[in-house]
Structure 1
Amino acid sequence: MPRATVDTRAEIRAAALELFAERGVEATSLREIAERIGITKAALYYHYASKDALVGELVDPMFAELRELGDELEGRPVDAGDEAAVRAVVERFWELCLRNREVVRVLIHNPALIARAEIAPRMLHWRERVDAVLVGSDDPADRVRAVVALGGVQDTVIVFEGDDLAAVRGPAIDAAVRALQPGRP
């Protein structure tokens, strides 16, 4: 019977993300991903030559969003003293994390994958870029504030998975904005 869906690559990515979240990347085979959507392993290999290639395509949209945010901030720096502007950036980062929460969850639960697919250097590069532009300083104390603020936002989206994220969003963003205020210890 012919498959009703035409975007097989998207189906593969969705099934892989679901299985990786359930079982882990190492414990999930490409055959299992193929079976989940009703295609052959050969058909999956037609679209993705390896598990690393598939993982790369799962994380690329998140990196593209981080790059876009970094580019925008570099083109229009945020005054660290302008609480409304800082809040707008933190809110955008919250939404970015929320859209990519399953990918982040898979990465957190599969640290070997981060090293194998060379994801950590890419992730750190874009986060450091956003951190630096957001605080507008290379001072270690300022950079620490940015890392704590944005890292806390990212973690909140992941940790509170079963809770009502709408209720968590405001306090998480408020805490990050406070942490980013200049002159705070």
Structure 2
Amino acid sequence: MARQSDTRARIQAVARELFASQGVRDTSLRQISERLGITKPALYYHFASREDLVRSIVQPMVDDLERFVAARERTPEHDAAGRRRLLEDYFELMWRHRDVTVMVVRDLSTLAELNLAERMFDWRRRLIVLLLGPEVSATQHIRATVALGGMSDCTVEYAHLPLEQVKGAAVEAAAAALGPGTPS
């Protein structure tokens, strides 16, 4: 059993690397199996299809984001320190999954194939409510979108730098984007 899970993990690691560098659509299962030195039928033993393989790589991020937002909704913090913690923790979550974000951004059709687009917009809307409350102006909503989206972009654009260097600057910029009129 351990050997099966090792092979499965190796397949996911190689696929993640190829998907991020070439895009999901431009990476064949044959390329993945050749890189691993296994047959395509052996790959199909572990994953029924390319979509199944992609889903297995993306699902941990989906699950983590859902748990993150749901946990924050159960114990919201509405003061400035709580908002800052939310931004910091969100950044760290996105940093852990930056390879998946690169993969998805490189081939946006992955969002549609896995029905992720609406879920991502839903998480963002829920995070905005946690940051600013349920009643926000269009300007506040735009600022929060810039804050959250900018932090996510930084996890990809600056992935080659140390976490501490990127996180501090990204969270500070996100907090500034929220603006001085952020409700407490």
Query: TM-score category by the smaller chain?
Result: 0.7 to 0.9
Partner of 2:158: 160
Instruction: Please say which of residues 42-51 and 129-138 is displaced more in the overlay.
Output: 129-138
Q: By how many angstroms is 1:143 displaced? A: 2.5
> Can you list the C-alpha shifts for 1:77-100, whole angstroms capped at 9, x where unaligned?
121xx2221111111111111110
Letter of the structure 2 residue corresponding to residue 143 of structure 1: H
Specify which of 104, 113, 121 is matched with residue 107 of structure 1.
104
Q: Which runs of 5+ in 1 are unaligned?
A: none
Contact 1:24 1:110 in 2 (8 A): yes
Change (3 A) 1:103 1:39: same
Contact 2:98 2:159 in 1 (8 A): no
SS of the residue aligned with 2:38? coil
SS of the residue aligned with 1:7? helix
Letter of the structure 2 residue corresponding to residue 51 of structure 1: R
Specify which of 132, 135, 139 is matched with residue 135 of structure 1.
132
> Can you list the C-alpha shifts for 1:123-159, whole angstroms capped at 9, x where unaligned?
2222222222222124233322221111111011111
Contact 1:13 1:58 in 2 (8 A): yes
Q: Distance in 1 between matches of 2:95 and 2:30?
A: 29
Contact 1:66 1:127 in 2 (8 A): no
Letter of the structure 2 residue corresponding to residue 108 of structure 1: V
Specify which of 136, 149, 152 is matched with residue 151 of structure 1.
149
Between the two proteins, the alignment pairs up a number of residues equal to 180
Partner of 1:42: 41
Letter of the structure 1 residue corresponding to residue 93 of structure 2: L
RMSD in angstroms over aligned alpha carbons? 2.0
> Can you list the C-alpha shifts for 1:112-133, whole angstroms capped at 9, x where unaligned?
2222232212222222222222
Q: Which runs of 5+ in 2 are unaligned?
A: none
1:119 equivalent to 2:124? Answer no
Q: Distance in 2 between matches of 1:78 and 1:54?
A: 37
Could you tell me the TM-score, scaled by structure 2's length? 0.88
Contact 1:17 1:103 in 2 (8 A): yes
> Can you list the C-alpha shifts for 1:37-60, whole angstroms capped at 9, x where unaligned?
222111111111111111111111
Change (3 A) 1:4 1:115: closer
Q: By how many angstroms is 1:181 displaced? A: 4.8
Contact 1:69 1:130 in 2 (8 A): no
SS of the residue aligned with 2:76? coil
1:171 equivalent to 2:132? Answer no
